[in-house]
Amino acid sequence: MDSTPIIQEAVEILRKGGVILYPTDTVWGIGCDATNEAAVARVFEIKRRSEAKSLVLLACDLDMVAKHVKQIPSIAIDLVEVNDAPMTIIYPGAQYLAPNAVAEDGSVGIRIPLVLEEDSEDEAPARKGAAPKGNLTAGAFCRELVRRLRRPLVSTSANISGEPTPASFAEISEEIKSAVDYVVPKPFGAGASGRSSQIIKLGLDGEVQILRP
């Protein structure tokens, strides 16, 4: 299945404040434009989750991260360049995001979706700066989706708060599927591992805290 029309349709819905169900490099997620406060509020409502709990966002590259945090700790660059597993980094000093997408301490968790090795160079836009062609695995699909949206994308697991995280599309409840505005077709979920990412919190003075290995 060609990814281009799917991504275009998803981006149009996101730009209108819609909420989508989509595969990531980890699990299937519920997402919206992370700069749209009303859309973020809908995500919390769909999940029945308190807005006091923080969200993870997806960015297509470090340039996008740099636009939405006041300063990137130098260690973050090294971590992003060498990591070989999905990694969410919590940065201090979030900016230009919806207030309800930011933690109470002003930090924000952002992940650049991992592109699998089986993706060709043409299908890894964040590496080569070019639009992908044809079919994509979930990580490359997410990067291209965020690149075209030009804003960070909320990425929270596709389950009601307190219930188990679905390991596959088949485990997502009908309540979640019917609550969103668009569901990305299942073939693009091929690269989703079904496992959550590592979570590392960084400070501006070099502090590193591993919250989830």
Give backbone dihedrals phi and psi of 149, rounded to 5 degrees, phi first: -70, -35
Q: What is the side-by-side strand order in the sheet with 153-157?
A: 182-183, 20-23, 28-31, 153-157, 56-58, 108-111, 87-91, 198-202, 208-212
Three-class SS state of 171: helix
Q: What is the pLDDT of residue 185?
A: 86
- Which pLDDT tens digits describe the chain residue by residue (213 residues)? 668 899 999 999 999 999 999 999 899 999 999 999 999 999 999 999 988 888 999 999 999 999 999 999 888 888 888 878 889 999 999 999 999 999 999 999 999 998 865 444 343 433 333 334 445 688 889 999 999 999 999 999 999 999 999 888 899 999 999 999 999 987 655 556 667 788 899 987 778 888 887
DSSP 158: S
Tokens of 51: 């807005």
Alpha helices, H only, 54-189: 62-68, 74-82, 125-128, 138-149, 174-179
CATH of domain 3-212: 3.90.870.10
Cα distance between residue 125 and residue 143, in whole Å: 7
79-97 per-residue burial string, b: 16 or more CB within 10 A, e: under 16: ebeebeebbbbbbbebeeb
Compute the C-alpha angle 42/101/62, nearest 5°. Answer: 125
